[in-house]
């Protein structure tokens, strides 16, 4: 009887182990998405309260998909309030697909990071190489900008003739 109990316990543990191995955990991975809603409804005279209203509307909109405004506040990490109407949020793929089907949504796309080329401008322009200035560098040839003045002088005069200028020019030419 004892071997029978031992065998059934072993069989039970073995079956449990096999079933555990067959189960695959599925974790919904969240990715950063940009939800573009088109143009703003506010005009050109915008106040800070208008920007706040836009952000609140983003929370309400996403909250209608996630179940609450609180979940939407946790998901949204940037709200585009000035030039475009939209927001960036951490979403599951299925959520992004559902949101993209809403009639107010223009597009939903992955927010992809970009490598900027100007974060190390001196390297980018070839003036330095990993912080070291080469002997043939333009920096050395230009004495590191010594005695260099960079300025923009706006005289208020346009190089294009205005209507009044052309009338005066015609009068002068007609007198000659």
Cα separation, 175 vs 56, in Å, equals 68
From 66, 83, 110, the end of a domain falls on 110
Selection from 114, 113, 90 nearest residue 35 by Cα: 90
151 within some domain: no
Q: Are 123 and 129 in contact (CB under 8 A)?
A: yes
How large is the average pLDDT for residues 29-49?
86
pLDDT digits (tens, 9 = 90+) for 88-112: 999 999 999 999 999 999 999 998 8
Which domain CATH number covers 41? Answer: 3.30.70.80
Cα separation, 128 vs 138, in Å, equals 9
DSSP H or E run through 35? strand 30-36
**Is the same domain home to 100 and 121?**
no
42 within some domain: yes
19 within some domain: no
pLDDT at 96: 95
Q: What SS3 state is found at 79?
A: strand
pLDDT at 14: 80
Domains identified in the chain, total number: 2
If one counts every other C-beta atom within 10 angstroms of the C-beta of residue 121, the result is 10
**Is the same domain home to 99 and 138?**
no
Q: Does the pTM of the predicted model rise above 0.85?
A: no
Domain around 101: 30-110
From 110, 135, 158, the end of a domain falls on 110
pLDDT digits (tens, 9 = 90+) for 120-129: 666 667 677 7
């Amino acid at each position: 009887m004892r071997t029978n109990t031992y065998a059934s316990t072993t069989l039970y543990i073995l079956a449990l182990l096999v079933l555990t191995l067959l189960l695959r955990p599925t974790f919904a991975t969240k990715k950063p998405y940009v939800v573009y809603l088109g143009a703003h409804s506010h005009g050109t005279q915008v106040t800070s309260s208008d920007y706040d209203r836009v952000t609140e509307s983003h929370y309400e909109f996403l909250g209608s998909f996630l179940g609450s405004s609180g979940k939407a506040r946790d998901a949204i990490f940037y709200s585009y309030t000035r030039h475009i109407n939209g927001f960036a949020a951490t979403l599951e793929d299925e959520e992004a697909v559902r949101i993209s089907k809403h009639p107010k949504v223009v597009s939903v796309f992955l927010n992809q990071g970009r490598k900027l080329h100007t974060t190390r401008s001196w390297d980018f322009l070839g003036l330095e190489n990993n912080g070291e200035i080469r002997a043939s560098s333009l920096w050395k040839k230009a004495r590191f900008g010594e005695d260099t003045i960079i300025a923009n002088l706006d005289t208020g005069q346009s190089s294009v003739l205005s209507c009044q200028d052309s009338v005066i020019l015609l009068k002068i030419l007609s007198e000659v």
